[in-house]
Amino acid sequence: MNLLWVPLLPLLGALVPLLTGRMSRNVCAWSTALLPACALIIVISLIPEVMAQQLPSVHYDWVPILGVSISFFMDGLGLLFCFLILGIGLLVILYARYYLSPTDNVGRFYSSLILFMSAMLGVVLSANLIQLWFFWELTSVSSFLLISFWSNKSDARKGARMALTVTGAGGLALLAGLLLIGQVVGTYDLQAVLASGDTLRDSALYPAIVILVLLGAFTKSAQFPFHFWLPHAMSAPTPVSAYLHSATMVKAGVFLLARFYPVLSHTELWFGIVSMVGLATLLVGAYSALFKHDLKGLLAYSTISHLGLITLLFGLDTDLAAIAAVFHIINHAVFKASLFMAAGIIDHESGSRDMRRLNGLFKYMPYTATLAMVAASSMAGVPLLNGFLSKEMLFTEALHQETLGSMSWLIPILVVVGGALAVAYSLRFIHDVFFNGEPINLPKTPHEPPRYMRVPVEILVVLCLLVGIFPQFIVGDLLLSVGHALMPNGVPYFSLSIWHGFNIPLLMSFIAVAGGMGLYYQRRHLFAFQSQFAEVDAKRVFEDSIQWLVTKAQFVQSFIDNGSFQRYAVWLLVAALFAMGVPLLNMPEAAGILPQTQVDPVIVIGAGLIIIGSIATTLMSHRRLLSLVMISIVGLVVSIAFAWFSAPDLALTQLSVEVATIILFLLALYFLPQKITHLHLSPSRVVRDLAIAVLAGAFVGTLCYAMLTHPMTSISDFFVANSKTGGGGTNIVNVILVDFRGFDTFGEITVLGIAALGIYKLLAGIRLFIPAADSDGRSWASEKNPLMLAQISQSLLPLALLVSAYIFLRGHNLPGGGFIAGLITAIALIQQYIAHGVGWMRDRGDLNFQWFIGGGLLIACLSGVGSWIFERPFLTSWFDYFSLPGVGKFELASAMVFDLGVYLTVIGATLSILANLGKLTTIDRPVRSAVKGGHL
């Protein structure tokens, strides 16, 4: 079975709850679980291959020249996380069906949850570093949607914003680290990177890589000092906490540590940072958990502590410690997910999470209490439960490390202290919630939840017992497979036996249990001690920090962006002068060895027209229509210059853009003030502006002269040689746009479409005063659509469309193409709006130009995806020659499909702007555009 389906099926499944959200909750839940369940079946079918180290993989080239591909592979580490993500995810789907209230938008919740599941699967299965980072950021975005699900609550919004800010910033650091790894290794292929450990460790960039990658891991897994966001993310619904903040999202950080463990570990830098951060997080989280009164708050800080424990194990930098870290990833995901679900049941059935009020619940919900107590005992490390085994391995490895030299004894002692604190807060969870008297003023009388709401908790608790009693049978082979992924040179022997005899790690466990019981029974002293310190509200500190940044940013903006276009132009030109001036001043001479072009009368006239038009535009700036005519002369002469110097494609493009731009300016001028007061500039300002203008012109002229007279190696020879043989076209410019640089063009039309949609939305809600007269008080002509203009434009429309089709079809071999043809079509249509009016056009065609943009982008994308069918990189073009009777020999190229996408996008973008701006001119009073959806 193709591995691609494992992340793809849940991604497609994100659409299912949106379609079934209005149906019954059972239909929505079961239909949502269907595709993830199929993905889990595929994962199970791949177990034999992974165990035999025949790693399944799939690879599709995306942008090979940049090293970007769509590729997945599954090793033991990926297999483990697939089980956690899909297995616990399916249990959460079932649990959420009963947890969410009838007023909650179940479809939106499940859709966001499945999107997050897909993102996590992408992270753990990615075989390309850039792809891994993409899914990494998608987990941040989708978790933001889940944490803020109850968006009517301020805590949910602020908690989501905090989580997105911290993890998003860490994601940027991770991106920098991954780019450096790709630079050092020479590829972004993850499997090649994992085989280049010595190359990375020997590189001068190794310290920067380690720090950047660890920043990404630490922020995502809530390591100290970035741990503050996780407790505030608990404002999310409990199913989100059970899934994201115990089993998956925070595990992405420790997954990253495990994934890069083979290539970044075994150095003092790794040990120093990872072990110390992990140890600090272990202790800070455990200590803080003991004093939390909110049930989910205690579990949140305990999660932070256990994530620190896992990080510490990876930092101890021994192979057995890494095995122990992976083992605890499994154990923690199982018992913590069950604890969060149990906490959600308690909240759901009692109406409170305050442990000062939740007393004696064992009497009211004994079954749930028993399940929660078993899971909490596993969290505390009680024997015969899974948490005990991985904590025993932690104690063993803490004893065997000697990296700190004479101070190495500190780590075992501090680890035991962390274990004692874990016992203490686990005891508090059990005693204060299920015993300790009677409930105090609960909103509801506690009772057992619906039967199937307990099923996920039951399954997870049974796993706690099974792994604790039969560890080798349940997870032994899986850990061995993960060990091969972490230690390519061989996995050391390890034993998962529940009994290793009386030894020091067992003694440390007894000390931790006894110490934890002592801390809990003397907790009043601890609470009294803690009460001396003012509690720091991380949310308030974060919000204050954000506001401080906003204030400083506003100060900088007010200094730079003061509404003066002259100031903007000055800053821009001064920066450009500095950038150009330094290299030019260091040149011994500007003149090169190439011969200069002879000056003829045509060039002199053209240059003179450009100079006159530019000067006239400046002098007549207060007379807008005349200045627009002058600047159009400049554009027209530039078009002629392109044609004169044998660049017909550029000439056609420039001419088409010039016409569209002039129409845009004319429409915009209609809304500007009719009269302009001619400003009197001071002599000093005139001198300043003149000096900057002269210097800018001199520098640009000198730079152009130097470039044109110096020989240089150009890539154009490659395009000239390969345009016909590689792209199937003789129009080199068009072949570059739709073939050699097709990905760039795809990005450009995407930006064009987004910009057009943004401008449309601005125009749709704009309020403008429509003047009823010109600047001299003369009212506008009553005949808004002159008969002669209407007749001529209507006659020209078929001819313009014919020319557009001709320009489009010839573009691959002769001057033309989709961009130029799209502009011609758009100009022909906008001419009809000018001549006939919006109402006349609306009556003859209900065109939604937003669909043009979307359709064009979709066609362009599909033309690239189609190359994957033939196992070629994205946007690989194809061409061939055919013969038909009566037609003769002709060429077909797949690039024409891509060019069709460009054509439609250009039409949609141009008309979305021009036609919608033109609508506003049809009303003679302050208006708000009433046109919906871009329909004309």
pLDDT digits (tens, 9 = 90+) for 36-87: 999 999 999 999 999 998 899 999 888 787 788 899 999 999 999 999 999 9
Q: What pLDDT is stored for residue 215 in this prediction?
A: 96
Q: What pLDDT is stored for residue 741 in this prediction?
A: 86
Bridge partners, 73 (sequence order): 57
Q: What pLDDT is stored for residue 776 in this prediction?
A: 63
Pick from 854, 847, 858: nearest CA to 825: 847
The predicted model gives 462-470 an average pLDDT of 93
Helices 410-434 and 295-315, axial angle in degrees (round to 10): 160
Q: What pLDDT is stored for residue 515 in this prediction?
A: 93
Pick from 288, 287, 333: nearest CA to 307: 333
- Estimate to the nearest angstrom the gap between the alpha carbon of 484 and the chain centroid: 31
What tokens does 878 get?
Answer: 């194809």
The predicted model gives 843-865 an average pLDDT of 84
Phi/psi of residue 881, nearest 5 degrees: -115, 140
Tell me the pLDDT tens digit for each residue of 473-504.
899 899 999 999 999 888 888 888 877 778 88
Cα gap 38→56, rounded to integer Å: 17
Cβ-contact 378, 391 below 8 angstroms? no
DSSP helix/strand/coil, 222: coil
**HEC assignment per residue over 395-435:** HHHHHHCCCCHHHCCHHHHHHHHHHHHHHHHHHHHHHHHHC
Pick from 800, 749, 797: nearest CA to 904: 749
Cα gap 476→497, rounded to integer Å: 10
Residue 571 region, left (φ>0) first, then alpha (ψ -120 to 50), else beta?
alpha
Cα gap 887→866, rounded to integer Å: 28
Residue type, 163: A
Cα gap 655→509, rounded to integer Å: 81
Cα gap 34→10, rounded to integer Å: 9
Residue 255 pLDDT exceeds 70: yes
Q: What pLDDT is stored for residue 777 in this prediction?
A: 64
Pick from 294, 286, 426, 287: nearest CA to 358: 294
**CB count, 10 Å around CB of 451?**
9
The predicted model gives 846-862 an average pLDDT of 86
C-alpha angle with apex 853: 852 to 856, nearest 5 degrees?
80
Q: What pLDDT is stored for residue 406 in this prediction?
A: 55
Cα gap 342→299, rounded to integer Å: 11
The predicted model gives 242-264 an average pLDDT of 90
Residue type, 161: R
Count Cα neighbours of 331 within 13 Å in the Cβ-side half-sphere.
Answer: 34
Residue 785 pLDDT exceeds 90: no
Q: What pLDDT is stored for residue 765 in this prediction?
A: 67
Q: What percent of the chain has pLDDT over 70?
A: 93
Residue 817 pLDDT exceeds 60: yes
Q: Determine which of 228-232, 346-350, 463-467, 881-885 has the lowest per-residue pLDDT on average.
A: 881-885
Q: Determine which of 156-160, 440-444, 866-870 has the lowest per-residue pLDDT on average.
A: 866-870
Q: Which residue has the higher pLDDT, 425 or 672?
A: 425
The predicted model gives 563-567 an average pLDDT of 77
Q: What pLDDT is stored for residue 927 in this prediction?
A: 38
The predicted model gives 905-918 an average pLDDT of 82
C-alpha gyration radius of the chain: 34
Q: What pLDDT is stored for residue 109 in this prediction?
A: 93
Residue 766 pLDDT exceeds 80: no
C-alpha angle with apex 852: 850 to 854, nearest 5 degrees?
70
- 82-104 burial, b for 16+ CB within 10 Å, e for fewer? bbbbbbbbbbbbbbbbbbbeeee
Handedness of CA 83, 85, 86, 92 (dihedral sign): positive
Cα gap 809→824, rounded to integer Å: 13
Residue 922 pLDDT exceeds 70: no
The predicted model gives 822-837 an average pLDDT of 84
Phi/psi of residue 127, nearest 5 degrees: -110, 10
DSSP helix/strand/coil, 475: helix
> Model confidence at 543, in pLDDT bands (50, 70, 90)?
confident
Q: What pLDDT is stored for residue 108 in this prediction?
A: 92
The predicted model gives 169-179 an average pLDDT of 95
What tokens does 869 get?
Answer: 């069918």
Handedness of CA 480, 486, 492, 496 (dihedral sign): negative
Q: Determine which of 124-138, 541-555, 636-650, 759-773 has the lowest per-residue pLDDT on average.
A: 759-773
What tokens does 552 get?
Answer: 């400083």
**CB count, 10 Å around CB of 574?**
13
Residue 144 pLDDT exceeds 50: yes
pTM of the model: 0.75
Query: What is the number of H-type helices and E-type strands within the chain?
Result: 41, 6
Cα gap 68→180, rounded to integer Å: 15
Residues 6+ apart with CB under 8 A from 489: none
Q: Determine which of 195-199, 411-415, 699-703 has the lowest per-residue pLDDT on average.
A: 699-703
> Model confidence at 117, in pLDDT bands (50, 70, 90)?
very high
Residue 322 pLDDT exceeds 50: yes
Q: Cite the DSSP H helix spans in 126-153.
A: 129-147
Q: What pLDDT is stored for residue 932 in this prediction?
A: 37
DSSP helix/strand/coil, 740: helix
Q: What is the average pLDDT value for the chain, to the nearest integer?
A: 86
Element (H, E) at 883: strand 879-884
Residue 275 pLDDT exceeds 80: yes
What is the pairing mode between strands 57-63 and 68-73?
antiparallel
> Model confidence at 910, in pLDDT bands (50, 70, 90)?
confident
Q: What pLDDT is stored for residue 846 in this prediction?
A: 65
Phi/psi of residue 815, nearest 5 degrees: -50, 130
Q: What pLDDT is stored for residue 926 in this prediction?
A: 41
Domain chopping of the chain, boundaries: 1-264, 268-519, 565-675+682-712, 731-936
**CB count, 10 Å around CB of 691?**
10
Q: What pLDDT is stored for residue 934 in this prediction?
A: 38
The maximal CA–CA distance of the chain, rounded, in angstroms, is 105
Cα gap 915→913, rounded to integer Å: 6
What tokens does 355 get?
Answer: 């442990």
Cβ-contact 365, 448 below 8 angstroms? yes
Pick from 340, 244, 252: nearest CA to 295: 340
Pick from 306, 153, 162: nearest CA to 235: 153
Cα gap 380→309, rounded to integer Å: 13
Cβ-contact 79, 47 below 8 angstroms? yes
Cα gap 209→214, rounded to integer Å: 8
Residue 679 pLDDT exceeds 90: no
Residue 925 pLDDT exceeds 80: no
Q: What pLDDT is stored for residue 676 in this prediction?
A: 64
> Model confidence at 923, in pLDDT bands (50, 70, 90)?
very low
Cα gap 515→426, rounded to integer Å: 13
> Model confidence at 365, in pLDDT bands (50, 70, 90)?
very high
Residue 928 pLDDT exceeds 70: no
Q: What pLDDT is stored for residue 930 in this prediction?
A: 35
Residue 800 vs residues 398, 539, 651, 793, 848: alpha-carbon distances, Å: 80, 61, 18, 10, 21
- Estimate to the nearest angstrom the gap between the alpha carbon of 83 and the chain centroid: 24
Count Cα neighbours of 777 within 13 Å in the Cβ-side half-sphere.
Answer: 0
